[in-house]
Amino acid sequence: MRIAAAVLALLAAGPVFAEDLPLLGLAHVGIRVTDLAKARAFYSGVIGLDEAFTTNNDDGSVFVAYFKVNDHQFIEIFPGLKPDQIVPMTHIAMYTDNLQHLREMMLARGLEPTAIHKGPRDHNLSFSLRNPPGQELTFLEFVQYAPDSLHVKDLGRHLSPRRLSTHLEHAGIITLDVDAAYKFYVDKLGFHERWRRYHEGLQPNAPAEKPTLIHLGLPGPSKDYIELSNFNGKPAATQARAGMAAHCSLEVPDIKKAFQESIDRGETKNRQQPRFGMDQRWQFNLFDPDGTRVELMQPKAQ
């Protein structure tokens, strides 16, 4: 009986791969905004991230503004959000030091990554996975920082002491089919489940019940993760609803200090005090001018 139970536990944990994907952590999230000046006031003025550099369109307008969390993690801001673009988040990126091997491993697992290309603006190497199962509008990008890239040239710079956070810990993804998304991340990419939440008031693991949130850790040493939000097959109706779920989360060492600093810097849209979440961590939310949520989380109770 003990052997059978152990076998069932292994099966429930997902497939065991001979080698983890060589992922080093989250690299960035891409977020569309309607007004770059207002976004700058939020991401730099309130959160305290330096705008390390920008890349431009052919007409000289800003294509992407890069707000630096640390030398390997950024929030990428894309101007030009339209009213009919319900989900402001464009993509989530993870970084590696061996992009070619990463792509070969994905091909061996039956995935269809795009070809590797060098960015004409930032000069990094990357490929992507488009239309991941169960997801809505958010694609995945995989990046290797090239020696001549804007990111590598900026190493050690634009690391403001005003930063509320120095770590992009997780990113939230809207799923229309949470089972398909879960199988994709666990069975194909080798992510591992860390935590899940069921709807309040319902019994956990009831047969007809599906989780509302699932945290899946990246393979590798980073401890970064993604959060799957279960939308039960119904697309987000508003940008505000989408921005709540498709969000990014920044780790802070002292939640009370970060909260007070956000208020001192003029943040007035959300003054709700930090709360102790169901995942046993202190947290509070900020919202950019277009309603995209930036979650601030303390790594452990203090």
Query: Domain residue spans in the chain?
Result: 25-153, 167-252+279-297
Q: What is the pLDDT of residue 5?
A: 40
25-153 under CATH 3.10.180.10, yes or no = yes
Query: Which amino acid appears at position 128 of this protein?
Result: S
CA 290 – CA 87 distance, rounded (Å): 10
**Per-block average pLDDT, block size 10, for the chain (302 residues)?**
40 68 98 98 98 97 98 98 94 98 98 97 97 90 98 98 98 96 98 88 55 95 96 89 96 96 85 85 95 93 52
Q: What is the pLDDT of residue 3?
A: 39
Q: What is the pLDDT of residue 205?
A: 53
Structure tokens at 75: 């929030």
Residue 281: CA count within 13 A, CB half-sphere: 17
Q: What is the pLDDT of residue 200?
A: 61
Pair 206, 33: CB distance under 8 Å: no
Residue 221 CB partners (closer than 8 Å, separation 6+): 24
25-153 against 167-252+279-297: fold identical: yes
User: CATH assignment of 167-252+279-297, given 3.30.300.30, 3.20.20.140, 3.10.180.10, 3.40.50.720?
Assistant: 3.10.180.10
CA 171 – CA 301 distance, rounded (Å): 21
Query: Which amino acid appears at position 77 of this protein?
Result: I
* Dihedral sign from CA coordinates of 4, 10, 15, 17: negative
Q: What is the pLDDT of residue 199?
A: 72
Q: What is the pLDDT of residue 301?
A: 57
Residue 145 CB partners (closer than 8 Å, separation 6+): 72, 95, 124, 151, 152
